[in-house]
Amino acid sequence: MKREEKIIVGISIGDLNGIGSEIVLKIFEDNRMMDFYTPVIFASTKTMTFVKNYFKLNINLNGINTTKEIVHGKVNVLNCWKENVNINFGKEDLKIGEYAIKSLEAATKALKDEEIDVLVTAPINKSNIQSDTFKFPGHTDYLAQELEGDSLMFMVTDTLRVGLLTDHVPVKDVSNHISPELIIKKIDTVYNSLKTDFRISKPKIAVLGINPHTGDNGVIGTEDDTIMRPTLKKIKESGKLVFGPYAADSFFGSDNYKSFDAIIASYHDQGLIPFKTLSFGQGVNFTAGLNRVRTSPDHGTAYEIAGKGIADISSFKEALFTAVSIFKNRNEFEELNKNPLAISKRKRFDERKYESKKK
C-alpha cells in the first residue's frame, strides 16, 4: 500500500432500481465503518440524496467531483453524472442500465489508476446493461478485459471457498469449454490466490467432476476419465495438493468440503447452489487472479423487494471487509517476500499464537 491514509474502497452503484443503493447507504449509517476504510460511491450526490431521503436514512454524504477531493472519515460520493435520475424500484429499465455502466466504468478507471485501492460492485441487471459499447455478461468478464491477469469467479466465506472452471457458460457447452489447459490455469489461479490473498501456505484443493458420479467409468460421459483425471494427476505430480475429481452430488452433503481450503466446480450451478445454500447470505463473490481487488455480494438486484426497505446488508458488508482484508494480505505477502527474515519472524509469531490458542 503506497498511501499513509486508510484504504480507499470504491463502490460502483449497480442497478439503481434494485436493492444496491439501499444496502450501500444502510451500511454507512454506522459511522464505525469509516474506522476501517474510506468509502467512495461512484454515482451522483443528487441520486444518493434521493435514496437517502426515500429510505429515511441518517447519513451525511460528501459530494466530490474528483478522487483528489476524497475526505477520510466521510461517505464520499463521486459525481459520475449531474442530471436527475428517474428511479422506479423493482422495474427493469434500459436507462438505469446505462447509469450502472457509467458508475462501473468510472470506478474501474479509478482502480486502474490507483486512485482507489479496491472495488466493491453492487448488483447489476445483466440484461439492461447490454449496448453497442458494452457487451459483457457481467462484472467478471468486463473486469477481466480491463485489468491484468487471469480472472476466476471465487465465491468465499470465512470457512468455504468455491472457484469455477467455467462461469457464465450454457450447460450444453460446459464440456466443450473444459480442457487440460483450462484446468491447469484455473487451479493455478486458485492456488496462488489462496497463498497470496488468504495467507494459506500449503493450500489443499478439491476438484468436482464434470459428469454425474464422475462418469461412472464412462457410462455417463468420458470427460472425467479422458480429461479431468490425467490433468489432476499431472498437477499433483508438480507438488500441489490437488485432489479429485469428486462426485458433486455427495461432496457437500457429506461435509467432505470441510477438509479443503478451496473447491473447484466444473460449472456455475454445480458450485454456486451448494455455496449459496451453505453461506446463508454471508457469501462474497471475489474475482481472483487479477492485479486489482474486486468483490461483490453473492446476490442480485432483488427487484421483488427493492424499495421496501427490507434488504439484508450482510453479504455486501462482508464484500467490503473481504476486499480490505485481501488488499492487506496481498501487500503483506509482497513485503514478506521481499524480506525473508520477516517471513521467519512471522512464522515463529504465528506458531506461538497458535500454541497459545491451543492452551
H or E segment at 121?
strand 118-121
What distance in Å separates the CA atoms of residue 90 and residue 132, rounded to the nearest whole number?
Answer: 25
3-class DSSP assignment, residue 265: strand
Which residues partner with 79 through β-bridges? Answer: 43
Pairing verdict, β 149-156 and 284-290: antiparallel
What distance in Å separates the CA atoms of residue 141 and residue 267, rounded to the nearest whole number?
Answer: 16
- Which pLDDT score is estimated for 254? 86
What distance in Å separates the CA atoms of residue 163 and residue 10, rounded to the nearest whole number?
Answer: 24
Cis amide linkage into residue 39, ω under 30° from 0:
no
- Which pLDDT score is estimated for 42? 98
- Which pLDDT score is estimated for 280? 81
- Which pLDDT score is estimated for 334? 87
- Which pLDDT score is estimated for 340? 57
**How many H helices and E strands in the chain?**
12, 12
What distance in Å separates the CA atoms of residue 108 and residue 129, rounded to the nearest whole number?
Answer: 16
pLDDT, tens only, 264-306: 999 999 999 999 999 988 899 999 999 999 999 999 999 999 9
pLDDT, tens only, 316-349: 999 999 999 999 999 999 888 877 555 544 444 4
The structural domains of the chain, ordered by start, are: 1-148+291-359 (3.40.718.10), 150-286 (3.40.718.10)
- Which pLDDT score is estimated for 216? 87
Output the tens digit of pLDDT for each of the chain's 359 residues.
Answer: 444 468 999 999 999 999 999 999 999 999 999 999 999 999 999 999 999 999 999 999 999 999 999 999 999 999 999 999 999 999 999 999 999 999 999 999 999 999 999 999 999 998 888 887 788 877 888 899 999 999 999 999 999 999 999 988 899 999 999 999 999 999 999 999 999 999 999 999 999 999 999 988 888 899 999 999 999 999 999 999 999 999 999 999 888 899 999 999 999 999 999 999 999 888 999 999 999 999 999 999 999 999 999 999 999 999 999 999 999 999 999 888 877 555 544 444 444 443 443 34
Dihedral, 167, 173, 177, 178 alpha carbons, nearest 10: 90
- Give the type of residue at 213: H
What distance in Å separates the CA atoms of residue 110 and residue 67, rounded to the nearest whole number?
Answer: 8
Q: In the β-sheet with 38-43, what is the strand arrangement from edge to edge?
A: 61-64, 75-79, 38-43, 8-12, 118-121, 293-297, 284-290, 149-156, 161-164, 262-265, 204-208, 241-246
